[in-house]
Structure 1
Amino acid sequence: MKIKLIFIFFVFGLTIQGQNSLKGIVLNENQEPIENAEVYIELLHIGTTTEEDGSFVLKNIPKGNHKLTVNYLGYDTKNINIQATENDLEINIKLLPTIFHMDEVILSTPFHRLQSENVMKIESKSIQSLQKNGAPTLIESLTSIPGVEQFSTGTGIGKPVIRGLTGNRVLVYTQGVRLENQQFGDEHGLGLNESGIESVEIIKGPASLLYGSDALGGVLYFNPEKFAYQNDTKINISQDFFSNTLGSATSVGVKTSKDIFKFLVRGTYNTHSDYEIPNGDRITNTRFNEKDLKLGLGLNLNNYVSEIRYNYNDAEIGITEGINDQSTSKTLELPYQDIQNHIISLHNHFFLNKAKIDLNLGYVINNRKEFEEHEEEDHGFEPHEEEEHMEAALDMKLQTFTYDAKYYFPNFKKFETIMGVQGMFQSNKNFGEEILIPDATTNDIGFLATSIYNMNDKSLVQAGLRYDHRNLSTDSYEIHHHEHDEDESHEGDEIEIVDAIDKTYGNFTFSLGYKTKIFDKIVTRLNLASGFRAPNLAELTSYGVHHGTNRFEIGNPNLESERNFQTDLSLEYGNEHFEIFANGFYNSLNNYIYASPTGEFEDDYAVYEYIQNDAELYGGEFGIHLHPHPLDWLHLESNFEMVIGKQKNGDYLPLIPANKWSNTVRGEFAGNKIFDDIYLAMNLDSFFDQNKTNDFEANTEGYNLLNFRSGGNINFNKVEIQINFSINNLLDKEYISHLSALKIDEIPNPGRNFVLGLNFTI
């Protein structure tokens, strides 16, 4: 209690002294004022929009260096360094028109630059733009981004796949903290709801320098919903309908902001029936229900800014066993998962004149239960404290505390430098009658330093070095094999002991990046980076049936850390009417871990053992965007993505996505003051045959999916209504994705889906 009181007095002792303000005017290329341009300081969570005369005022700005972002649709985004001192600031800002898109401030990298100023090529998409695709889940909406796919089990379970890597090789951040939710399992979904998320940033390649273990394959970084503009209050109601699953998604949010305090709250409820395939059948028990609550509180003092957020997510997800009884019910059948996530994040920014300290703390509780039909026998397992109407066969509670402290040195000539320490304390406890992974504790600590050198107006160099140390220890546990005679009378149990382990892993990682303009319109980025991933609990200690994958898995306690080295090269060219980009990569992996069949069977399940082999992945993404003159409303886009994954012995890696070619024709119309941002689009996604497969993996045939999109905004007094309508799989094509967990049973993916989205903002 004394520590808490000291902390509270310390925070408020940082003063509510005289506050700085920033005044300015935003003008276009003709020196005319721009109304409703967004003016925002991202790390302070302070923002507003310009008045009719282009003017704006931001209050309560701490002393120190800040980055002011100004954007307006159809104009280049400006990222301006400002130095707040004792005196109020005044600034005039000129925006120049652009045809294609607004630049975004990248928050997943520590220097918080615009993407156009960044050394690494990072994909950034607003959730609002992804919602136009009409996907029923957040992870499915991300598959419209080149290089990103999903490994799915029905519509309710999806895992991100970045350039062929998934599971523990892709790290997920939300609210600025690491999300830990037993992501090693193929049937373990993302665990996030898109409501209350502002945008997503995707690092396609090793990011271990910034994030440590598990960022070997890439990072999904979800930015939470922004607070309301200063001295403003907003109410938002959204409603989506999905024809294929007879689904509904409802979300209500309220947020308000004053000079010092900010607050927001959002509640969401999703419900879906079994999905329908083109022949009219429904895939039994692919239904799911989800409840989500998000809270946020911001505090701005003179030299201190704090933000605390909380997210509660409760998802009940059916586990299908094929096409059985046909139903449109939304009540779960056995087997199913009940997954509860609590995510608490606290972000603190301390401004020390020209220097700055960031301290981010996170606490994540993941309670994963799986219910199935089982014999009600007492095998000596300790019951959970809660009284259940049905005892969960699998009941795991994972608690993770993370910390991340960074010191931003004052800029020295052309150098910007950051040093930091990151760490994690994690514990896993079992309360169910089955044990998938043992009780265990994990302790991480990592030290990093990174710096940017601004060579000139055209060129940047960024380099960094990091060291990580991980200790992982487990308890021993018993596996009970039930013995039955021919008439199925119970004879007894055979007990297998899985030994405890205590492992330590240490790894150095580095990155080196270079960005330059070869010519006036051509930007190139070259990045060299190493990454690592320590083996997870399932790979080290499994011994038993994993029902999600329908196999008997045997871990290997002698596994070593995976290590990789990736080279990325990107080229971009753009003018008023034409954009083109090409991203190529080569990823060399040492000690790649995967489950391989032994040819044996245990308890009627095929036995898989975790082994290691060196591997390589290579490929890239290529795209063009044409905006022909004088057809200013027309956009033609084409993207191609490919990845090939092979072991060094010549065998192909499993679960590598098929090559994909996406083509879109889109019309955008400005409209008037009542109807604006109107769009119409047709999209054709072409997936190629995937026959570069592992020996124990089935090939899949190629297919084409035609999709339709339309929508726009209606402005009525102070109410803005956004309408999105889409038809996915317009021709009701029957197909099986190569990354579907149901392809082993030849179960098709969903058929045609009409999606209507309504979003009201007051």
Structure 2
Amino acid sequence: MKTFSFYISLFISFLAFTARADAPPIRGTVTDVATGNPLPGATLSIPELRISVVTNQKGEYFFPSLPQKGQFLLEVKYIGYKSVAQTVDVSKPVSVDFRLQKTVIEVQEVVITGTAASSTNKRNSTSVTVLNKEDLLRKPSTTLIGALATVPGVSQITTGSGIAKPVIRGLSYNRVITLSDGVKQEGQQWGDEHGIEVDQYRAERVEILRGAASLLYGSDAMGGVINIIDPLPPSPGQVKGEILSNYATNNGLSGNSAMLEGNAGGFVWRSRASYKNAFGYNTPDYRLPNTGFHETNLSGQLGLNKSWGYMHLDLSSFRQKLGLPEYTRNEEGQFVTEPEDEGEEGSVISPSLYKTRNLFTPLQDIRHYKTALNSYIVLGEGKLRSTLAFQNNQRRELEENETDPSLFFDLKTYSYDFKYYFPVRKGWEPVIGISGAFQNNENKAEELLIPDYDSQDIGAFLYAKKNWKSTTFNAGLRFDYRNIDGKQMEEDGTPKFSNFSNNFSNISGALGITHEISQTVNFKANVGSAFRAPNVAELSTDGVHEGTERYEVGNPQLNPERSFYADASLEYHTDKASAFVNIYNNYIDNYIYLKQLSEDEMLDDHYVYHYTQDNANLYGLEAGITLHPVSLIHFENTFSLTRAKNNSTKSDLPFIPAPVLRNELRFEPEIKNLDDSWISVGLDNFFRQSRVDQFETPTGAYSLLNASAGTTVKAGKQSIQLSITASNILDKAYISHLSRFKKDGFWDAGRNISFSVRVPLSFGHAE
């Protein structure tokens, strides 16, 4: 409560900081380059300032409140036209007109905000894929990560239909950062069954940064970053919103979300409420009981958008309960609970419980509360961006009843991030930054898996980017320090953990370049180093974690991981076709993983695995080609491959995704009285994964047939977006190599048909 009051007080103290005189507004028109006709409804935004406006019926726009000085990237979007991004100098206001060109392929001129300095994708050396709201709705999934896992180089570690962990280029857990509200999500990422605590309906767009991003985000960004971005506030004078609803036949998933936001003279606000629930999912052979979940999300924003920049206060509450199926199947195919004592028989699960929405033990109860204060203040020609945040993650694991948890982790995280952007001089864009976090984790149940601990992080970086006509160069240097102090603890009166204190530090650097070889061909390359400190589980865990069926033992003597990486990409874009190929190589010294030191070592009737480390090498590629010979046809094909070797043992690393080839043929017909219609059919081909670690088994190849259709209808002036998606149409029996149920032999979900409706709302007129 004190933390919440602090942020509210800090927010209110800035309400008076609005007296600065505005610069004359930037205004102009947006028209069709071929016909000269105005394009009403085109969206123009300055992502750095979190502001946007929409053109009127004459194609006219203006930004009423801008800083007096500075250069900002202005992005123009209109459906069916190439996006345009142009740097504008607000200290020299002039009429800026945009003439857009029709296209059947979206050229990647989108603005990327999750890097040190905002830029277009062509000018950004990091390999980035952007999915907007429409893309996410076309890829229905029970989790946000499931929708992102169709992106080349991205996979997911799943536990049923309710838990998904992102995997980028073979790296996951504490090697991938998820950002929401501009804040690194902190929620016990080290656990196998620990997903991300984010409302999937909030995402207006998601930026996926593939490859090391430690320069900007420090430890834990060794594999990449998933940046979840809320919608920009509406234009002044407008109130907007949306209603979302979807239903899935396989597990009865019912999801609903409602959002309303407004802008009154620069005072912006937003509120959203979402709810999802499902029962056990169905496989081609059986329904798996107790794999349902309930999820309730509430979030809101209050803020100011003024000529000096912006300040936004974001609040969110995430609550999820989900079941875990700890069962075996008898000879009759019935699911049986695990017996309490050896030699006894378990109880048969009643078929009436297979489709119940009432969960029963074992289950998880996760609650995540977050407060984030984001500000962007223009100081002369420079800019200061800051984020202050508090998160409280409460994770209860209930085995015997729903009131007394067997495990209860209570994690509190206080974090800060400051970046100062120097004025642009002769094409140079320097940035300096400092960030850090304080954490406290307490056990509030009798059973202990990790000790109580305190940790502290601090990092500082220097970054600079230089732009020439067709080439961009960037370089950076970063220092990180982390301290973790574990506390002595007893379990059932017996000493279990001893005091320990670990300190880790590192200096890392990166170089990147982009070069436009021609108007259609673009080249990118990066080299650098990255760093990850061991997490608390790797240092100290001692026990059996729910669902792993392993007794895991930490190692307080672990050294930090250090990687040396290089990647390169070649991109090709025309009006009729686009293609790309990315290659990467990542050497990781002191790679941390679980290893069985003795085949006979057992504790609590489980085989013992120890955290150890060796040098490792991960390498691979992502490639894709999209053909659009006519406006009606869209044919997209992508391929991903990751190889991961333990250089010390010459064996393969665990949890590495299988190679996958995805093909989609989409028809986009023009239908009278309907807008944005499509019909698609896709085939996902997963190759055999035989490169496995010692406690894994190979996974056979399989293919999944999918299809979808959608359109936008008008009810008066109100548009309604409708879609239907069918996945695994042939009801193929398969198990993903990264499924946590693979060890139990439980199939992944069979055929599923999902129906969704989205109603965008708009009230009022721009001022």
Instruction: Name the TM-score, length of structure 2 as normaliser.
Output: 0.92
Aligned to 1:432: 445
In the alignment, structure 1 residue 511 sits paired with structure 2 residue 510: yes
**8 Å CA contact 2:11, 2:313 repeated in 1:** no
The alpha carbon displacement at 1:105 in A equals 1.3
Listed as ranges, the matches of 1:564-575 within 5 Å are 564-575=563-574
Shift of 1:17: 3.9
- Tell me which residue corresponds to 2:190: 184
Q: Which residue of 1 aligns with 2:344?
A: none
4 and 221 in structure 1: CA distance in 2 versus 1, 3 angstrom threshold: closer
**Is the CA contact 1:178–1:362 (under 8 Å) kept in the aligned structure 2?**
no
Gap change, CA 1:4 and 1:132, over 3 Å in 2: closer
Paired residue type of 1:423 = G
> In structure 2, what residue type is equivalent to 1:68?
L
For structure 2, the 5+ residue unaligned runs are 328-334, 337-348, 762-767
TM-aligned CA deviation for residue 225 of structure 1: 2.7
Unaligned runs of 5+ in 1: 375-388, 481-492
SS of structure 1 residue aligned to 2:539? helix
Secondary structure, in 3 states, of the residue corresponding to 1:695?
Answer: coil
Partner of 2:404: 391
Opposite residue 610 of structure 1, the aligned amino acid is Y
- Residues matched between the structures, number: 729
Q: How does 1:127-166 map to 2 (within 5 A)?
A: 127-166=133-172
In the TM superposition, what is the alpha-carbon distance from 1:3 to its structure 2 partner? 11
Q: Is the 8 A contact 2:243 2:257 kept in 1?
A: yes
Q: Give the structure 2 partner of residue 25 of structure 1.
A: 29
Match of 1:270 in 2: 276
Question: For residues 500-522 of structure 1, what are the alpha-carbon distances to aligned partners after superposition, in whole Å with 9 as ceiling and x for unaligned?
Answer: 11111000111100111223421
- Residues 2 and 692 of structure 1, relative CA distance in 2, 3 Å threshold: closer
Q: Distance in 2 between matches of 1:151 and 1:553?
A: 19
Q: Is 1:615 the equivalent of 2:616? A: yes
Which aligned segments of 4 or more residues in structure 1 are displaced greater than 6 angstroms? 1-7
Instruction: Give the structure 1 partner of residue 765 of structure 2.
Output: none
Deviations 1:301-356 (A, max 9, x none): 33241111111110001111134423211111101111001121111111122111
Match of 1:67 among 59, 64, 73: 73
1:363 offset after TM fit, Å?
A: 1.2
Shift of 1:21: 2.4
Partner of 2:229: 223
Match of 2:392 in 1: 365
C-alpha distance in 1 between matches for 2:607 and 2:459: 39
Q: Which amino acid aligns with 1:587?
A: N
How far apart, in 1, do the equivalents of 2:381 and 2:82 lie?
Answer: 28
**One-letter identity of the residue aligned with 1:188:** H
Please give the alpha-carbon distance, in whole angstroms, between the structure 2 residues aligned to 1:214 and 1:56.
42
What's 2:217 paired with?
A: 211
- CA drift of 1:7 comes to 7.2
Amino acid corresponding to residue 619 of structure 1 in structure 2: G
Corresponding residue of 1:51: 56
How far is the alpha carbon of 1:296 from its aligned partner?
Answer: 1.2
Aligned to 1:458: 470
1:261/1:476 Cα in 2 relative to 1: closer, same or farther (>3 Å)?
same
> 1:621, CA displacement in angstroms?
0.6
CA contact (8 A) 2:585 2:618 kept: yes
Contact 1:67-1:81 at 8 Å conserved across structures = yes
1:679-694 to structure 2, matched below 5 A, reads 679-694=678-693
Amino acid at match of 1:521: T
Query: Which residue in the other structure is 2:735 paired with?
Result: 736
Q: Which residue of 1 aligns with 2:669?
A: 669
In structure 2, distance between residues paired with 1:671 and 1:343: 45
Alignment partner of 1:741: what SS?
A: coil
- SS of the residue corresponding to residue 210 of structure 1 reads helix
Contact 1:14 1:304 in 2 (8 A): no
Are the counterparts in 1 of residues 49 and 309 from structure 2 also a CA contact under 8 Å? no
- Matched-pair contact (CA < 8 Å) for 2:126–2:210: no
Cα distance, 1:88 vs structure 2:
6.1
Contact 1:15/1:303 (<8 A) preserved: no
* Matching residue of 2:480: 468
**Is 1:654 aligned to residue 658 of structure 2?**
no
* Deviation per residue, 1:80-109 (Å, 9 max, x gap): 222334x86532122223321153211111
Q: Point out the more displaced range, 11-20 or 37-46.
A: 11-20
Report the counterpart of residue 356 of structure 1 in structure 2.
383
Partner of 1:547: 546
Pairing partner for 1:419 from 416, 419, 432: 432
Instruction: Check conservation: 1:127, 1:194, Cα contact below 8 A.
Output: no
TM-score, length basis structure 1: 0.93
How many Å apart are 1:437 and its aligned residue?
1.3
Contact 1:73 1:101 in 2 (8 A): no
SS in 1 for 2:204: strand
Residue identity in the other structure for 1:518: I
Letter in 2 for 1:110: A
1: distance between equivalents of 2:720 and 2:278?
25
Offset, 1:194: 1.1
Shift, 1:433, TM fit: 1.1
- The question of whether the paired residues in 2 share the 8 Å contact of 1:669 and 1:676 is answered with no
Cross-structure match for 2:529 = 530
Instruction: Please list, as runs of the form range in 1=range in 2, the aligned pairs for 1:285-300 lying within 5 A after superposition.
Output: 285-300=290-305
Q: Once the 2 structures are TM-superposed, how far is the Cα of residue 587 of structure 1 from its aligned partner?
A: 0.7
2:490 maps to 1:478: yes
Match of 2:417 in 1: 404
Residue 341 in structure 1 maps to residue 341 in structure 2: no
Q: Structure 1: which amino acid aligns with 2:748?
A: N
Structure 1 residue identity aligned to 2:126? M
Residue of structure 2 equivalent to 1:488: none
The answer to whether the 8 Å contact 1:172/1:179 transfers is yes
Tell me the percent identity.
34
CA deviation string 1:698-727 (max 9, x = no partner): 011000000001101112333110111000
2:224 and 2:537 mapped to 1: Cα distance? 21
SS in 2 for 1:12: coil
- Post-superposition shift, 1:445? 0.7
Shift in alpha-carbon separation, 1:5–1:75, aligned structure 2, 3 A = closer
* 1:121 maps to 2:121: no
The answer to whether the 8 Å contact 2:434/2:461 transfers is yes
Q: What is the SS of the residue equivalent to 1:140?
A: helix
For residue 195 of structure 1, give the secondary structure of its aligned residue in structure 2. Answer: helix
Matched position secondary structure for 1:726: strand
Q: Residue type of the partner of 1:710?
A: A
Q: SS where residue 412 of structure 2 aligns?
A: strand
Which one-letter code corresponds to 2:445 in the other structure? G
Matched residue of 2:277: which SS? strand
2: CA distance, partners of 1:243 / 1:206: 39
The separation in 2 between residues aligned to 1:652 and 1:616, in whole angstroms, is: 10
Cα distance change of structure 1 residues 368 and 635 upon mapping to structure 2, 3 Å threshold? same
**Aligned-partner Cα distance in 1 for 2:22–2:207:** 36
Deviation at 1:236, TM superposition (A): 1.5
* 2:459 paired residue among 430, 438, 446: 446
Asked whether the 8 Å contact 1:59–1:259 carries over to 2, the reply is: no
Residues 488-547 of structure 1: per-residue CA shift (max 9 Å, x gap): xxxxx7x24321111110001111001112234211101112111100000101111212
- 2:573 is the alignment partner of 1:604: no
Asked if structure 2 preserves the Cα contact closer than 8 Å seen for 1:284 and 1:321, the reply is no
Could you tell which deviates more after superposition, 34-43 or 655-664? 34-43
1:230 is displaced (CA, Å) by 2.4
The answer (yes or no) to whether the contact 2:372–2:390 under 8 Å persists in 1 is yes
1:254 aligns with 2:260: yes
In the superposition, relative to structure 1, how do residues 428 and 283 fare at CA in structure 2: closer, same or farther (>3 Å)? Answer: same
Cα drift, residue 359 of structure 1: 1.2
Whether the aligned pair in 2 keeps the contact of 1:123 and 1:202 (CA below 8 Å) is yes
In structure 2, the CA distance between the partners of 1:412 and 1:727, relative to structure 1 (3 Å rule), is same
- Asked whether the equivalents of residues 668 and 678 of structure 2 are also in contact (C-alpha less than 8 Å), the reply is yes
After alignment, is 58-67 or 362-371 more displaced? 58-67
Equivalent residue in structure 2 for 1:309, among 311, 314, 336? 314
1:138 and 1:5 mapped to 2: Cα distance? Answer: 33
Counterpart secondary structure, 1:206: coil
How far off is 1:752 after superposition?
A: 0.2
Corresponding residue for residue 98 of structure 2? 93
Distance 1:3 1:156, change over 3 A: closer
| Alpha-carbon displacement from aligned partner over 1:393-444 (angstroms, at most 9, x marks no partner) | 1111111111111111111112111011111111111111112211111111
- Superposed CA RMSD: 1.8
